[in-house]
Chain A
Amino acid sequence: MDIFGLIGPASFYGFMAGILVLAVLTVTTRNLFHSAIFLAFTLIGVACIYFFLRAEFLGGVQILLYVGAIMTLVIFAIMLTAKMGDPSIPQSNRQRLPVFLALAALAFLLVPQIVKTSWKVVESLKTTSAVELGQALMSEFVLPFELISIVLLAALIGAIAIARSDQ
């Protein structure tokens, strides 16, 4: 069953606009805790984009890992460090306007190039299953798969070593 046929492209555009609004709220909200909550909704929206693009396994992984694990970490860090509820502390530095102008110029540079490029798209959306993904991980990508497990182990040990207190 095609989700596209069900909802139509117009609602898809509305969906993407909603994600952009949530992302803007994430980077501009003063309260960092609210920012983390907006980030969670942005990530759920991205997972829905994966479902629209027929990458169901990635959508599940996105919700489990990003919304589940990384958000918990971020909220823990905010609660352990930030002094919330003090509106007199500025949450952004003084380069807001120049950064905004530079990024707007970058967007005006990039978007026409994206429109002008003739992408060699195929007619139908190409899909894959979790089984094929697992086979690709175990055959073609087995070396990066093993390497990333070493990276994860190193990150685990490093995080514990850095974050534990000295006494």
Chain B
Amino acid sequence: MLPLSHILIFTTLLFLIGLYGVLTRRNVVGILISIEIMLNAANINFVAFSASLDVSPQIGQVFVIFIIVLAAATASVALAIVLSIYRNQKTIYTDEIDLLKW
């Protein structure tokens, strides 16, 4: 059995890589891709905790199912917004979408 802390370090690094992508990408779709990586890191944490700590193993996995469903809903709505922005502004780069800035 792998030590729990090694899995936690792995998911921490995965989460930080996703956060780096969110903070540095200019493309909105690239930011969404990075967010999916962050959600996956959290999911692995849920599964690892529920498998190796003294809790009922169903709880963590049910939470992961809910997160996957919410990620699917987020992705569909966010990509619809991206398409709408592209149709109106002809760009999907975050620093060029400045209609509400002054």
Interface residues of A (CB under 8 A from B): 4, 9, 12-13, 16, 19-20, 23-24, 26-28, 32, 35-36, 39, 42-43, 46, 49-50, 53-55, 57-58, 61-62, 65-66, 69-70, 73-74, 76-78, 80-82, 89-93, 95-96, 99-100, 103, 106-107, 110-111, 114-115, 117, 119-128, 132-133, 136-137, 140-141, 144, 148, 151-152, 155-156, 158-160, 162-163, 165
Q: Mark B11-41, 1 if CB is under 8 A from A, else 0.
A: 0111011111101111101101110110010
7 tightest A-B CB contacts, nearest first: A27-B21, A155-B73, A163-B80, A136-B58, A159-B80, A162-B80, A128-B57
Residues of B with C-beta under 8 A to A49 = 44, 47
User: Does B97 make an interface contact (CB < 8 A)?
Assistant: no
Determine how close the nearest CB of chain B comes to the CB of A22; give it in whole angstroms.
10
Residues of B with C-beta under 8 A to A61 = 65, 68
Contact present for B53 and A119 (CB under 8 Å): yes
Residues of A with C-beta under 8 A to B57 = 126-128
Q: Which A residue's beta carbon lies closest to that of B26? A: A93
What CA separation (Å) do A121 and B58 show in the bound complex?
A: 16
Interface residues of B (CB under 8 A from A): 1-6, 8-10, 12-14, 16-21, 23-27, 29-30, 32-34, 36-37, 40, 43-44, 47-48, 50-54, 57-59, 61-62, 64-66, 68-77, 79-84, 86-87, 92-95
What CA separation (Å) do A155 and B70 show in the bound complex?
A: 9
Contact present for B34 and A27 (CB under 8 Å): yes
Residues of B with C-beta under 8 A to A62 = 68
Residues of A with C-beta under 8 A to B40 = 42-43, 46, 66
Residues of B with C-beta under 8 A to A54 = 51
Name A's interface SS. helix
Contact present for B68 and A73 (CB under 8 Å): no
Residues of B with C-beta under 8 A to A35 = 30, 33
Residues of B with C-beta under 8 A to A82 = 27, 29, 92
